[in-house]
Structure 1
């Protein structure tokens, strides 16, 4: 039962978010060999000025063992 949460800069259209959620769901079902009914995808908008405090610090720096693809940038 994977649940994927994506945090991204605010401003992306609903069309982009739907396409991203579909692509993630496709990748998860293919990679984990599970059905669509097992997958949920949440997308959270984050204001750019809040990225370091709300995402980079707690989710990237604060949980290093969970990061499988590190970002190519430092704190903003």
Structure 2
């Protein structure tokens, strides 16, 4: 506990970038959950952009809006 999954599209990461991202996310999670590094896990899950609305946006963002602590504003992209 805690586990963070980041779903995204249209981006490739090197192994070094993945490691840096995991360290940054872990640090924030450790601080806010008052836990230790070994308790945090982070996953990256890539989807084709064409599948985003059906696979992620509808079921996980609009379909679970009550769980969001930050909603997207796609008008700015």
| Short-chain TM bin | 0.7 to 0.9
Measured in 1, the distance between the counterparts of 2:26 and 2:53 equals: 27
What are structure 2's unaligned runs of at least 5 residues? none
Q: What number of residue pairs does the alignment pair up?
A: 74
Once the two structures are TM-superposed, the CA of residue 17 in structure 1 deviates from its matched residue by 2.2
**Residue matched to 2:47:** 46
Measured in 1, the distance between the counterparts of 2:63 and 2:11 equals: 26
What are structure 1's unaligned runs of at least 5 residues? none
TM-score normalised over the length of structure 1: 0.87
Deviations 1:19-56 (A, max 9, x none): 22111101000111100111100110111111111110
Aligned pairs for 1:8-47 within 5 A: 8-14=8-14, 15-47=16-48
